[in-house]
Structure 1
Amino acid sequence: MNLCYDYAGQTVLVTGAAQGIGREICRRFCAAGARVIAADIDAATLAETVAACGGQCEARRLDVTDRAAVHALIAATGAVDVLVHSAGGVCGQAGRPLEIITEADWRRIFAVNTDGAFWCAQAVAPGMKAKGRGRIVLISSGAGLGVSLTGIQAYAAAKAAEIALARQLGHELGPFGITVNSVAPGFIRSNPSTERQWQAMGEAGQARLMDTIALRRPGEPADIAHAVLFFASAEAGWISGQVLSVDGGK
């Protein structure tokens, strides 16, 4: 339940909504009364998000790397009150020596993480400016503040760029009543990719990871969703350009 937040009458767009963190964010906003647009490139799995939201959200297939598609979705949806860019990830890649990384590998991760964040913010900004208010929340990563557990150079760099983008856009859009912030999750067991990472660590590796976390547990999608709903709320109206680490304590 969302006891503190009421988003009735607001339209919330969540990218990367087909699973894990994005799905939980959709579920929480629906529970708080928002009209939720759940967007993801994986149209089939989006149906599971709709079911998790009790049929209350609207599923839209979207490739966030396609600028024209992003702008077309916003044109069809209408003005958005809250944008949560949760799309991203490692695009199926694993850590490898930098000498063998191809241009396509590098650019693909930047396209879905950083480029996607920019295209989405660019598309929703005019409607938010017209209203004189808005909230943009970018889901970055602890990898953008430190070192990536995956060892993927492009992922760490792209997430650092998202954090810098939130800071820059917060400064640019503040005069229009729009806040822009970033949530940087620690290790979250949220989807098949992170489950594979968790299992690949083995018991010893899992124990070592838990020893680095003050609360001695991996995160859950709900931990991130709580932070997002706060940043999107009226209570966070004088917070912008910030990054909040939600990592169990380091």
Structure 2
Amino acid sequence: MTLLVVGASGFLGAEICRQAVAAGQRVVGTYHSAAVAVPGVEARRLDVTERSAVRALVTAVRPDAVIGTPYRYDDWAVTADGAAHVAFAAAELGARLVHLSSDALHAGRSAPYPDDEPPTPVFPYGAAKAAAETAVRAVDPGAALVRTSLILGKGSKQIQLCRDGLAGRAALFTDELRCPVDVVDVAAAVLELVPSGYAGPLNVAGPDAVSRAELGLLVARREGLDPAGMKTTTSAASGLLRPTEVRLDSTRAAGLLRTRLRGVRELLAA
């Protein structure tokens, strides 16, 4: 199988590449600025905002499957338009598409979100991810859309944010709940979905819902850091408009996949 990973220089994209190469697959990975640092990957530079460039690359590589992971937090053209361009090119070739989405497209509430819950974005990034899903589903109804949460692991930005909060360099929200998941688990789940016939949204997140402040305390315990100086705040006090409580119900994924989605308390057990 030839696998095209769009966004292979990113945190999740690189882990997907590592696991696919280890499984003996031919992997072509794209990057824009940061180089792909995974041995065995055929790296290709790509600007996903250029539809003709995406189409030309997919036509040249002729992958059996495409995994779309590119995003830029504050860039609609990359997150939304780029996803549409990738979906169009994959569908034109007849390649299997697995698109990476996010819990950021939900508004937040106390009840967990099932897989098929329609997006209710409340901030620009969430709106871009919702638009990306809409475009992908319109172009390729057979595509799998993986909705995930905070991704942890070695080199995770989320873990570094916790360290910064513990050191007083950043504030961790006490009212912003998510379902963190390990990058290894998400990558394995994505690769399992490639040969499957699953279509539509699928929540792939950990079973534990914790606030960013609680995550900071778990990191402190794991790394032997003093939590006394941890800086905290609330979304309301920060003045930022972002979702607060977003719990993804990943029951369907747990029954569908062999990959076990570990909870954050297990991942960060001291």
Taking the TM superposition and a 5 Å limit, the aligned residue runs for 1:124-163 are 124-128=90-94, 134-147=95-108, 153-163=123-133
Q: 1:112 to 1:197 in 2, by over 3 A?
A: farther
Give 1:220 shift: 2.3
Q: 1:243 to 1:122 in 2, by over 3 A?
A: same
Contact persistence 1:144–1:161 (CA under 8 A): no
Partner Cα distance (1:68, 1:167) in 2:
20
Structure 1 residue corresponding to 2:35, chosen from 6, 20, 45: 45
Q: Secondary structure at the match of 2:127?
A: helix
Contact persistence 1:14–1:38 (CA under 8 A): yes
Q: 1:223 to 1:208 in 2, by over 3 A?
A: farther
Q: 1:166 to 1:244 in 2, by over 3 A?
A: farther
Partner Cα distance (1:230, 1:146) in 2:
29
Partner Cα distance (1:67, 1:170) in 2:
16
Q: In structure 2, what is the equivalent of residue 58 of structure 1?
A: 42
Partner Cα distance (2:136, 2:205) in 1:
16
Contact persistence 2:88–2:139 (CA under 8 A): no
Partner Cα distance (1:155, 1:117) in 2:
13
Tell whether 2:88 aligns with 1:122. yes
Give 1:213 shift: 5.3
Q: In structure 2, what is the equivalent of residue 222 of structure 1?
A: 184
| Structure 2 residue identity aligned to 1:63 | D
Contact persistence 1:166–1:241 (CA under 8 A): no
Q: In structure 1, what is the equivalent of residue 236 of structure 2?
A: none
Q: 1:14 to 1:183 in 2, by over 3 A?
A: same
**1:26-74 C-alpha deviation (Å, 9 max, x unpaired):** 11111222111110102x531x22xxxxx32100111111112212212
Partner Cα distance (1:33, 1:146) in 2:
40
Q: In structure 1, what is the equivalent of residue 5 of structure 2?
A: 14
Taking the TM superposition and a 5 Å limit, the aligned residue runs for 1:94-243 are 109-128=75-94, 134-147=95-108, 153-171=123-141, 179-189=142-152, 193-195=157-159, 197-202=161-166, 208=174, 212=177, 218-233=180-195, 236-237=196-197, 239-243=198-202
Larger-Rg structure:
2
- Count of aligned residue pairs for this structure pair: 194
Q: In structure 1, what is the equivalent of residue 226 of structure 2?
A: none
- Unpaired runs of 5+ residues, structure 2, are 109-120, 209-246, 248-270
TM-score by length of 2: 0.63
- Structure with a larger share of its residues in helix: 1
Contact persistence 2:90–2:96 (CA under 8 A): no
Give 1:192 shift: 6.6
- Give me the identity figure in percent: 31
Q: Secondary structure at the match of 1:14?
A: strand
Partner Cα distance (1:203, 1:184) in 2:
31
Cα-Cα RMSD: 2.9
**1:134-153 C-alpha deviation (Å, 9 max, x unpaired):** 32111111101335xxx982
Partner Cα distance (1:116, 1:16) in 2:
11
Structure 2 residue corresponding to 1:84, chosen from 39, 43, 67: 67
Partner Cα distance (2:156, 2:202) in 1:
26
**1:113-168 C-alpha deviation (Å, 9 max, x unpaired):** 1111111111122221xxxxx32111111101335xxx982211011222333433
Q: In structure 2, what is the equivalent of residue 71 of structure 1?
A: 55
